[in-house]
Amino acid sequence: KSVLKTRWLAHQLVHLESVDSTNIWAKKHQHELRHGAMVLAEEQTGGRGRLGRSWESSKGEGIWMTLVLEPGLPMHDAGKMTQLAAAAMHQAVVEVTGLPVKIKWPNDLLVDNQKICGILTEVSGELTRIERLLVGIGVNVNQQVFSGEIAEVATSLRIMMEQPVSRVALLTLFLKIFEKCYDDYVLHQSYGAVLRVIREHSMLLNQPIDVIRGDQRVAARAVNIHEDGRLEVVYEDGRSELLAGGEVSVRRK
Interacting residues toward ligand BT5 by CB under 6 A:
21-23, 44, 47-51, 53, 55-57, 64-66, 107-108, 115, 118-120, 136-138, 140, 150, 153-154
What minimum distance in Å lies between the beta carbon of 30 and ligand BT5? 15
For residues 100 and 120, is the Cβ–Cβ distance under 8 A? no
Nearest distance, CB of residue 101 and ligand BT5, angstroms: 14
Closer residue to ligand BT5 in complex, CB, 55/178: 55
DSSP, res 71: -
Single out the residue of 82, 88, 65, 149 nearest to residue 115, CA to CA. 149
CB of 249 to ligand BT5, least distance (A): 12
- State which residue, 150 or 195, has the beta carbon closest to ligand BT5: 150
Identify which of residues 53 and 76 has a Cβ nearer to ligand BT5 in the complex: 53
Residue 28 or 196 with smaller CB distance to ligand BT5: 28
**Shorter beta-carbon distance to ligand BT5: residue 206 or 249:** 249
Choose between 57 and 91: whose C-beta lies nearer to ligand BT5: 57
Closest CA to 240 of 249, 231, 248: 231
- Report, in Å, the least distance between residue 59 CB and ligand BT5: 12
Cα–Cα distance for residue pair 55/199, rounded to 1 Å = 26
Nearest to 85, CA basis, from 220, 222, 178: 178
The amino acid at residue 154 is: A
**Is beta strand 13-19 parallel, antiparallel or unpaired with respect to 38-44?**
parallel
The CB-of-43 to ligand BT5 minimum distance in angstroms stands at 11
Q: Which is nearer to ligand BT5, 140 or 142 (CB)?
A: 140
Distance CA 11, CA 1 (A): 7
First CA to last CA across the chain, in angstroms? 49
CA distance 99 to 43: 25
- Min CB(16)–ligand BT5 separation in Å: 11
Q: Which of 168, 8, 117, 142 is nearest to 62 (CA)?
A: 142
Which residue number is nearest to ligand BT5 in terms of Cβ? 118
The 3-state DSSP class for residue 86 equals helix
* Residues 22, 40: Cα–Cα separation, whole Å: 7
| Nearest-approach distance from CB 155 to ligand BT5, in angstroms | 8
